[in-house]
Amino acid sequence: MSTLFAFFHHVAAFTLVSALAVEFVLIRQDLTLAIARRLPIVDAVLGVSAGLLLIIGLSRVFFFEKGAAYYFHSHAFMTKFSVFIIVALLSILPTVEFLSWRQAGESGAAAGRQRAKIANYSQHHSRRIGRCCHYSALRCDHGARRLGVAVYCFRLGI
C-alpha cells in the first residue's frame, strides 16, 4: 500500500509541475480572450493536483512511512512543507484574478472592459515575470534554485 501511495504522490507532483509549466507558457503569451478562458482551467488542475499532493503526502507521513514523529522532527521536511504551504497561500491571488476574468467573460456587457483588463495584465505581468527570471538567473548558482525562484516569482506575479 505504501508503494501505491508513493506512486500517487509522484503523479500528483508531476501533474502540478506540468500544470505550472502550461500556465507559465500561457501567461507569457499575449493574453487574448481565448487564453484567458484556458487559464482558469489550467489553474484548477494546478490547484487540484496541489491539494491531492498535500493530502496524499500527509497520509504517507501519518500512516505509511516512518511516522509523523520522524518527519516533524526533520528540518528538511519542515522547510519543504512550510514553503509548499506559503506558496499555496500566495498563489491564491493569481487564482482569484483568473476567476474574475472568467466571471467577467460570462457577462456580455463587460466583454470590452475585460479585454482591456486582460491586455493590461499581460503587459504588466510579463515585465514583472521577466525581471524575476532575470534576477534569479543572475543571483542563483544552481539550475534547480533558478527554476524554483522563477516558479515562485511567477506564482506571485512578480
- What pLDDT digit, counting tens, does each position of 94-109 carry? 888 888 876 665 555 4
The residues near 8 (Cβ < 8 Å, ≥ 6 apart) are: 52, 56
In whole angstroms, what is the distance from residue 126 CA to residue 118 CA? 12
- Integer CA distances (angstroms), 48 to 1, 12, 45, 128, in order: 22, 9, 5, 26
- Integer CA distances (angstroms), 113 to 26, 103, 104, 109, 116, in order: 21, 12, 9, 8, 5
For the ranges 12-16, 23-27, 132-136, the maximum mean pLDDT occurs at 12-16
Confirm if 55 and 13 have CB atoms less than 8 A apart.
Answer: no
Which residues span the domain enclosing 129?
Answer: 2-156
- Counting the structural domains of the chain, the total is 1
Contacts 24+ apart (CB under 8 A), 73-81: none
Looking at per-residue pLDDT, the higher value among 21 and 33 belongs to 21
- H helical segments located in 29-142: 33-59, 68-72, 75-90, 92-106, 111-139
Chain segment 89-142, per-residue pLDDT in tens:
998 988 888 888 766 655 554 555 555 565 565 555 545 444 444 333 333 334
